[in-house]
Structure 1
Amino acid sequence: MDVSEAVGAGGLADDRALLGRTSTAERVADILRTRIAEGYFPPGTRLSEDGIAGALGVSRNTLREAFRLLTHERLLVHELNRGVFVRVLAVDDVDDIYRTRGLVECAVVRGLGQPPFSLDGLVATVAEGEAAARADDWRGVSTANIHFHRELVALAGSARTDELMRSVLAELRLAFHVVDDPRALHEPYLVRNREILDALRAGERATAERLLARYLDDSRARVTAAYTRAVEARTGPTD
């Protein structure tokens, strides 16, 4: 899949205003990371330097630095003499992402201080997911679910942990975009997000951690199985 000169029309050109006068590789990377997470650039997409640089109004050197940053985050890969592509995850990558999530997210809940906690962000994301479900917008449910887990980790008050999870969750969405049935993938977790929120509201951190650990184990099994089926449907069975 190749995204070339047409990439700017109605797409990245709309993001140009976000760069303002202080255009930097980091801000370009932020825009591209968001677009990748939204599925605008699906896994396997070749990114055109000319198309993207023109759409955003940045130099090719700035764009290449943004590509380098996102390659370091494992969202892009550079293939010699072919170009830069949105990464296609291996099944083992999906499993490893969930191991990382379990280590970080459960540790955040376990390490929370005494209630009351500031749960406004979690409340908003639960409502966001439920509204998307009512509208039959299952990609929107997926986005709300990612937001829920980012807000959960944000309870730690750690910029470094926030940055880590932003990268991990963006990488996970590369798997979500390959799966053909987002409703089956995400619907079961709407109720479970609310259960975790309710436990935290009640100050029951141990209960919230137990619910979260079970949630992540179940989600890992479900996503890994769905991703494996999707990959095999496109490429044939792997040994």
Structure 2
Amino acid sequence: MEPKDPIGELADDRALLGRTSTAERVADILRTRIAEGFFPPGTRLSEDSIGGALGVSRNTLREAFRLLTHERLLVHRLNRGVFVRVLAVDDVADIYRTRRLVECAVVHALGEPPFAVDGLAAAVAEGEGAARAGDWKGVSTANIHFHRELVALAGSARTDELMRGVLAELRLAFHFVDDPRGLHEPYLVRNREILDALRSGDRDRAEQLLARYLDDSRTRITDVYAKAVDDPEP
């Protein structure tokens, strides 16, 4: 597939800002683009290019950068600019600890079935379609969507906001995987198994499947990541 131009893609997001553009809206767009893999770790973010694509002022963009730096997605380097952060191995392990705490708690706390799984089903179908097309970056994005929809079952805007940042950080680790198919393909089946358990109303089984899934994924990702990077950030 032809690589996409991240700045050109941002221009498509300009309409999302509306007339009352704010730093929070800009940060949300950039967070989403980072989560979807458009800006790899180590990428320098140009104020002129991004501000021009989104049609926002330099001050607004700098505030958005500040927000994302606070979320540990960006890092400011003196006299060099703002860059997409490169995670340390300990960061990856901590991301998975957070995911297990939050995602398993969401499933555990679900009320009585039937559960609203349409968003999960769409993410599963998205991932399977991307796999058939050989688009493993697309599979990775669909997997992020699956877990975002899973957390959305809690009906909590605060939990949704927390996990948007966590999942965007996780995507930074995926860029260092040299075999994306080998990494992501097994989880297509496991996503469907969790979906099927929730569809059948079996919350306990879904929680058990999810816990094993996250434990296995943490081990796999941290092992792969440790071989790919040497803790470039403190």
Q: TM-score range by the shorter chain?
A: over 0.9
Contact 1:33/1:170 (8 A) holds in 2? yes
Q: Which residue of 2 aligns with 1:164?
A: 162
Contact 2:23/2:64 (8 A) holds in 1? yes
Q: Which residue of the other structure, out of 17, 20, 38, is the alignment partner of 1:19?
A: 17
Cα distance in 1 between the residues matched to 2:12 and 2:114:
41
SS of the aligned residue for 2:13 comes to: helix
Higher relative contact order, chain-length normalized (CA < 8 Å, sep 6+): 2
Contact 1:95/1:220 (8 A) holds in 2? yes
Q: Measure how far apart 1:205 and its partner are.
A: 1.2
SS of the aligned residue for 1:43 comes to: coil
Q: Which residue of 1 aligns with 2:113?
A: 115
Aligned residue identity for 2:182: A
SS of the aligned residue for 2:76 comes to: strand
Q: How many residues align?
A: 228
Q: Measure how far apart 1:220 and its partner are.
A: 0.4
Q: Does 1:77 align with 2:75?
A: yes
Structure 1 residues 121-152: Cα deviation after superposition (integer angstroms, max 9, x where no partner): 11111111111111111111111111111111
Farther off after superposition, 207-216 or 26-35 = 26-35
Gaps of 5+ in 1: 1-5
Superposed, which structure 2 residues align to 1:33-182 within 5 Å?
33-182=31-180
Cα distance in 2 between the residues matched to 1:198 and 1:35:
30
Aligned residue identity for 2:124: V
Cα distance in 2 between the residues matched to 1:100 and 1:181:
25
Q: Which residue of 2 aligns with 1:3?
A: none
Q: Which residue of the other structure, out of 207, 210, 216, is the alignment partner of 2:214?
A: 216
Cα distance in 1 between the residues matched to 2:174 and 2:155:
27
Cα distance in 2 between the residues matched to 1:179 and 1:22:
39
Structure 1 residues 162-186: Cα deviation after superposition (integer angstroms, max 9, x where no partner): 1111110001000011212111110
TM-score (ref. length: structure 2): 0.92
Contact 1:110/1:209 (8 A) holds in 2? yes
Farther off after superposition, 30-39 or 161-170 = 30-39
SS of the aligned residue for 1:115 comes to: coil
Q: Measure how far apart 1:7 and its partner are.
A: 6.9
Cα distance in 2 between the residues matched to 1:121 and 1:171:
22
Aligned residue identity for 1:74: R
Cα distance in 2 between the residues matched to 1:212 and 1:195:
9
Cα distance in 1 between the residues matched to 2:156 and 2:12:
31
Cα distance in 2 between the residues matched to 1:177 and 1:213:
24
Aligned residue identity for 1:227: Y
SS of the aligned residue for 2:82 comes to: strand
Q: Which residue of 1 aligns with 2:187?
A: 189
Cα distance in 1 between the residues matched to 2:33 and 2:195:
28
Residue identity over aligned pairs, in percent, reads 84
Q: Which residue of 2 aligns with 1:198?
A: 196
Q: Which residue of the other structure, out of 15, 32, 35, is the alignment partner of 2:30?
A: 32
Contact 1:7/1:52 (8 A) holds in 2? no
TM-score (ref. length: structure 1): 0.91
Contact 2:40/2:84 (8 A) holds in 1? yes
Cα distance in 2 between the residues matched to 1:211 and 1:176:
22
Superposed, which structure 2 residues align to 1:224-235 within 5 Å?
224-231=222-229
Cα distance in 1 between the residues matched to 2:107 and 2:46:
41
Cα distance in 2 between the residues matched to 1:102 and 1:38:
21
